[in-house]
Amino acid sequence: MDNNNIVDIELLKTTFENLGKTQQRRIEDNEEKIGKIGVLLSGRFDADHCRRVYIIVNAEYKILPGRNREMLESRIKAHFNNQISDQEVSKILNIIVFNLEEVSEETDFLAKQVHANMGLGGDTAQGDEVENPAGEFGYSATNPIPVSGIDRIDDYFTKLKRITGESITYNRLGSLAAENLEFPVDKYEIFDSEKQFVATLYVYAYHGCMTGKAPRGFRLVE
């Protein structure tokens, strides 16, 4: 492993450990996944090692450009010192991303969602908008805010502020079909810092990358 990869891994690990201190609930939720990985590997690796791999690969899945199943599986195998089988590697990746060991090809819709959610499809759209958008960005189900995975929706809304810089809160109302998109679009109501309704926004979680665009009346803040 070259020095750049070592630095990348240590940076990713430190970043997610720091995030964990401020997002304890999310880390606690992920303990279930870490436990499943430990059970799958039948005690061949201790809990701390499984936790470290989970943190690193979860980070790589979320932020590395051009990630795909082959690349992520190769990283998992390397993190476990090439001591696990290809089948175990595939199951671990499914656990990390979807909390499932197996993704049945018979359940067509779920299988397609799995690929889209991970940005694995070769035809997965890139860019700040969905393909063939119609209507106003963010305000129309046919031109929703595109993000690269269901777990990235919270990441996007954490950065989204009103144009004045005021913080927002949000509540998911459900999902619906859009005629120009293959997978469901999620509908959210947005509130200001005083809990007053501001807008209804639509989000599409099956895009190839995270948009850098904000809807009218909002802006993104790092």
Share of residues in the chain with pLDDT > 90 (%): 47
What sign does the CA torsion over 88, 6, 60, 67 have?
negative
- pLDDT attached to residue 121: 46
pLDDT in tens, 164-203: 999 999 999 988 999 998 888 999 999 999 999 999 999 9
- pLDDT attached to residue 201: 98
Residue 18 clears pLDDT 70, i.e. is over it: no
Comparing CA positions, the residue from 220, 203, 187, 89 lying closest to residue 148 is: 203
pLDDT in tens, 30-70: 888 999 999 999 889 999 999 999 988 888 876 666 667 78
- CB-based burial label for 118 (10 Å; 0-12, 13-18, 19+): buried
Mean pLDDT of the chain, nearest integer? 81
pLDDT in tens, 68-108: 778 888 999 999 999 999 999 989 988 887 777 776 554 44
What sign does the CA torsion over 84, 112, 143, 204 have?
negative
Q: Give the mean pLDDT of 133-156.
A: 91
- pLDDT attached to residue 183: 82
Residue 15 clears pLDDT 50, i.e. is over it: yes
Q: Give the mean pLDDT of 106-128.
A: 55
Residue 112 clears pLDDT 70, i.e. is over it: no
- pLDDT attached to residue 16: 57
Partnered with residue 186 across adjacent β-strands are: 175, 203
Share of residues in the chain with pLDDT > 70 (%): 74
- pLDDT attached to residue 136: 97
By residue count, the chain amounts to: 222
